[in-house]
Structure 1
Amino acid sequence: MRGTTRTVAVAVMSAAALLAAGCGSGDSDGGTSSEGKAGGEITIRGCNPENPLIPSNTTETCGGNIIDAFAAKLVHYNAEDAKPEMDIAESIETTDNQNFTVKLKSGYKFQDGTEVKAKNFVDAWNYAAAGKNAQASGYFMEPIEGYGDTQCTGTAEDPCTDGPAKSETMTGLAVVDDHTFTIKTTEKVSNLPVRLGYSAFSPLPDSFFKDPKAFGEKPIGAGPYQVESWTKNQSVVLKKFADYSGKFGGNLDTITFKIYQDSDAAYNDVIANQLDITDEIPTSAMIDDKYKSDLPDRNAQKETGVIQTVTFAPPAVDPAYKDPKVRQAISMAINREEIIKQIFNNTRVPATGWVSPVVDGYKADQCGEYCTFDAAKAKAQLEAAGGFSTPPITLSYNADASHKDWTEATCNSIKNALGVDCQAVGVVDFKTFRGQIRGREMKGMFRTGWQMDYPSIENFLAPIFKTGASSNDGDYSNPAFDKKLEEAAAATDSAESNKLYQEAEAMLATDFPAIPMWYGKTTMGWSDKVTNVKITAFGTIDLPSLTLK
């Protein structure tokens, strides 16, 4: 419900604050909590990862859920409230928010038996940043000094067609000893320690650099589970890592992600106890809370750091949506409340901006009138733009999840309000869908969603809307917006930082690169075989908590 927020981050966090952040014990609204037995195996609904399982090249949840199971990081996010807790890091210290010293715990092991050392972080981050490697999450290294010198330009097949980068390493990273390294950022970055729990900052073992392709098929991390096998389009099998070094280990011996092309099929398998957990309830089961009677005492729901949006194709790909007035008109033509009521049984919250209410710094109504349904104003705004040039309006979605009903309802709302035909277009699966978006082949509008990588208002803005950012699917670019983000990152006071980020978000209402649709509530269901099912603040399954009855 709007106004119900949970503070999960601060813009400025010292190493002492990180160390003080303790473990949570679960959430009564986010799952079950009871004693269970150790060991055993379960199955979970999965989907096709877009790319090989390399942490720095994964920006979507299908692969991200698996990476988070096998890859430990410097920082771990508490499952209940996403507060950062030290994991591989012993400490992260800074006196000026620009120069950071990271000390590692000794003896922390990779799944190939080698020790996690400072060089494994430095080498991994340099690999992620290097333009020649074309890593989708390389952008997250941008704050580090020397990142610009690692960039080059070219094609997707050859990222450095126009010539090699000036350097393959960043000057802002330096190994001090086996368990210490330093980070220097180009500008002050007050929330850098909070960011370091994101998967892009995972360490990589020395073996990765010998054969990155082989690693992507059967990766090696330092987390509580390791990838046993990956059968494309069928399953990913995880086994408990016997020599796991951290304090966030799991109970189960085996977790298999079964890849489904249809969320209804996964849901029906859970009802029949042929699948143990689904992290997505189909819209058909949301109506009248049907899922609660289908799965009594076997369901949970929780507000999470997730927002659903609709993004416009880049103007170079489809100029029909270039005018912000056209975009604003389409947004005002969407009756979010009615769609949420009819399709989602009120298990979503209408979005009034581009930042989730669960993070510190959230400000309501940043979208203004453009996120309020008003057919008359929508039509007038479209007429002010000169109408829509090339009907129909299209809204694409991946057909292997529950998006058909709401995209069709959204199109019906747009069509009725604007008098312009709108068609919902299904794409076979998420991997194909994202491939078309990333390849700048998809025209019209397409559904997008954002699950926070780390708990910060900045994470809902910079990675999605900053010029050249890794998840900037609409190629939005506004120098004033970029500058405001930089000012916010450099602010040493959390209140001032949040204020500047809010000012940046407000700029999006003028340019309107994406339509805010609704904030997330994650709903899950499970079989009668499992217990201790918890939904994290990120909207994912807390794998370490799971047990068999």
Structure 2
Amino acid sequence: MKRNKIALAGVGLLAAGALALAGCSSKTGGDTTPTKGGDSKAIIKVSGNEPENPLIPTNTNEVGGGKILDSIFAGLAYYDAKGKLVNDMAESIKVDDPSDLTIKLKEGNTFSNGEKVTADSFINAWQYGALFSNKQLNQSWFSDIEGFSDSADSPLTGLKKTDDYTFSIKLSNPVAADFSQRLGYSAYYPLPEAGLKDMATFGENPIGNGPYKLAKTGAWQHKIQLDLVKNDTYKGGRQAKNGGLTFVFYASADAEYADLQSNKVDVIDQIPSSAQQTFESDLGDRAVNQPAAIFQSFSIPGNLEHFTGDEGKLRREAISMAIDRAAITKTIFNNTRTPASDFTSPVIAGWSDSLKGADVLKFDAKKAKELWAEADKISPWSGKFQIAYNSDSAHQAWVDAVSNQLKNNLGIDASGNPYVDFASLRKDVNARSIKTAFRTGWQADYPAQYNFLQPLYSTKASSNDTDYSNPDFDKLVAKGASESDQSAATKDYQQAQELLLKDLPAIPLWYSNVNGGFAKGVNNVQFGWNSVPLYYEITKG
């Protein structure tokens, strides 16, 4: 979901050795949402991915775990279908000045174990997530709070409790306006005392305060499914209209689509390559194909042989220009993807298709070959170029297509490098032990340009998978976050992206629509701005 490394996939069909230039156009957008009611006690079965880590908000930054956490927990606020921030546990979120916020909580909210949700529930959870020795994947989400350190244990001195239901946030940078918009993200969820006392046990059986709770101890059957039931103590705006959710962890997109067609699963949020050309006609009004805040790319570790210094810069440019994105999005994705022109998404304010330096994203086989030859003058190419991807989602088709284009346009040995599942791929990426390029992508955490830039490319950021660092980029992104005027912020972010176009820490590929579907008898299915179904709205029967 809003997660740093998305596990969901693009899909398509690849003819052997070349792109099959076929394809009929697909509808995009449109309201396919039924409005019929249903059994309020019905359990809704939805497709999912085995979470990468135990279910701890400050240590979950991928889609599979994110969708579950967002169902179990409630933060200060949440994002509605269109990306609007709506108060949840917060009575008010007040920006006092560019560096200060005051949070007033609603009284009477509890975790599913009966413990009250208070200012301490947030302050203690954030302190845990920010502490260096806890090594949480989402640690950098607290970096703007006064007292934060990414190199030593240091408390967040900027968090001050006023009373049981009020606390203030002092920022070390004047980014309060943007910071207030981040507070719907899962890193900022509260934690009960039980979680903080025994985080290992808690991660397997989390106790939340959201619209759902675990059905029982041991409800998470690893690599099989996870069962949630409605949490009757939740008083917020995401009231569940069903009895619960079962997240089914599928090994392949084909398996979940087959289950959808036989009504064994109720809602899926990806379509396999075998059905990309036909799923809309197969499912009719039960098909979903709409724009979403999803950006797809692949990244090349900065320490790989041939990818450092001037040689690396030339090779990255050559690789980018050797890819015919338009052909792939038409043939592989049946026009459900759009070639990227920046590092954000067309559904986000400030997106641009005319950045300086964006020519590097346009297909030019001749120029690509020239750039590759210039790099060879520095150090002759040796070995092969591979793109790692997870086989449990439908990535093979586009990886094979890109590899074939690199092979044909640069004259190199290029291929995919499949991992058995998303968790295995992420393990090597997180450990910095991966020795090839690897697929990356971003499903926005909150609807702002800053969210597409800072977490992925700022120095030491939580999802900076290649350890990219450019001080000028860091300054521009920080400046954009401090601007009170949106147009000024947009200018800063676009200038920051122009630096990314020179350095190419990731190779932008395309923006994704969310493709999915729902079974017969399932009603009120709505996919949000970030491509995730609003599970609490779904009914059946």
TM-score by length of 1: 0.90
Residue matched to 2:164: 178
After superposition, the C-alpha distances for 1:453-504 in whole angstroms (9 at most, x for unaligned) are 0111000000000000110011100011111112112222121111111111
Indicate conservation of the 8 Å contact 2:407/2:413, yes or no: yes
1:526 and 2:518 are equivalent in the alignment:
yes
In structure 2, relative to structure 1, the CA distance for the partners of 1:420 and 1:45 (3 Å cut) is same
Map Cα deviations across residues 184-233 of structure 1 (whole Å, 9 max, x no partner).
00010121110000000001111111110111001111110112210011
CA distance in 2, matches of 1:203, 1:314: 36
Residues in 2 aligned to 1:499 and 1:274: alpha-carbon distance in whole angstroms: 49
Deviation of the 1:275 alpha carbon? 1.5
Report the AA paired with residue 284 of structure 1.
S
1:162 aligned residue: none
Q: Distance in 1 between matches of 2:65 and 2:153?
A: 31
1:18 matched to which residue of 2?
none
Would you say 1:435 and 2:427 are equivalent positions? yes
- CA displacement 1:13-60 (0-9 Å, x = unmatched): xxxxxxxxxxxxxx9725413121222112111111100000110010
1-structure distance, mates of 2:399, 2:222: 28
5 Å-filtered alignment, 1:486-497, equals 486-497=478-489
TM-score (norm. length: structure 2) = 0.91
2:334 aligns with one of 330, 345, 354: 345
Do the aligned residues in 1 keep the contact of 2:29 with 2:291 (CA within 8 Å)? no
- Measured in 1, the distance between the counterparts of 2:526 and 2:153 equals 47
Partner of 2:41 in structure 1? 39
Instruction: Name the residue aligned to 1:312.
Output: 300
Is 1:257 matched with 2:252? no
Aligned residue for 1:298? 286
Match of 1:69 in 2: 71
**Contact 1:301–1:535 (CA under 8 A) maintained in structure 2:** no
Shift of residue 347 of structure 1? 0.5
* Runs of 4+ residues deviating >6 angstroms: none
Report whether the alignment pairs 1:384 with 2:370.
no
Q: Which residue of structure 2 aligns with residue 245 of structure 1?
A: 235
User: 2:269 pairs with 249, 263, 279, which one?
Assistant: 279
1:332 aligns with 2:321: yes
Matched position secondary structure for 2:386: strand
* Unaligned runs of at least 5 residues, structure 2: 1-27
**Pairing of 1:139-178 with structure 2 (within 5 A):** 139-148=140-149, 151-152=150-151, 165=152, 167=154, 169-178=155-164
For the 8 Å contact 1:31–1:535, the answer to whether it is kept is: no
Residue 408 of structure 2 corresponds to 416
The one-letter code matched in structure 2 to 1:211 is: D
Give the letter for the 1:72 counterpart. A
C-alpha distance in structure 2 between counterparts of 1:426 and 1:300, whole Å: 28
- 3-state SS in 2 of match to 1:389: coil
RMSD, matched Cα: 1.3
Equivalent residue letter for 2:87: M
Per-residue CA deviations over 1:410-434 (Å, capped at 9, x if unaligned) read 1001111111110111100001111
Whether 1:217 aligns to 2:219 is no
Amino acid at match of 2:289: Q
- CA change 1:28–1:326 in 2 (3 A) is closer
Aligned length: 503
8 Å CA contact retained: 1:321, 1:444: no
2:398 matched to which residue of 1? 406
Residue identity in the other structure for 2:381: S
Match of 2:6 in 1: none
| Distance (Å, rounded) in 2 between the aligned partners of 1:360 and 1:142 | 24
User: What residue in structure 2 maps to residue 60 of structure 1?
Assistant: 62
Q: Distance in 1 between matches of 2:397 and 2:479?
A: 41
Identity over aligned residues, as a percent? 39
CA change 1:95–1:391 in 2 (3 A) is: same
CA distance in structure 1 between the partners assigned to 2:238 and 2:64 by the alignment? 21
**Is the Cα–Cα contact under 8 Å of residues 30 and 302 in structure 1 kept in the other structure?**
no
C-alpha separation between the residues in 1 aligned to 2:118 and 2:31? 36
Q: Is the counterpart of residue 104 in structure 1 residue 105 in structure 2?
A: yes
Separation (CA, whole Å) in 2 of partners of 1:425 and 1:84: 40
Give per-residue Cα distances to partners, 1:155-175, cap 9 Å, x unaligned. xxxxxxxxxx353x2110011
Q: Within 1, Cα distance between the matches of 2:529 and 2:403?
A: 31
Kept after mapping to 1: 8 A contact 2:72/2:208 = yes
Conserved in 1, the CA contact under 8 Å of 2:29 and 2:289?
A: no
Cα offset, 1:278, TM superposition: 1.2
Inter-partner Cα distance in structure 2 for 1:108 and 1:406: 46
CA distance in structure 1 between the aligned counterparts of 2:478 and 2:230, rounded to whole angstroms: 41
SS at match of 1:461: helix
Structure 2 CA distance, aligned partners of 1:28 and 1:521? 9
Q: Which residue of 2 aligns with 1:15?
A: none
Question: Gapped runs of 5+ residues in structure 1?
Answer: 1-26, 153-164
| 2:499 corresponding residue in structure 1 | 507
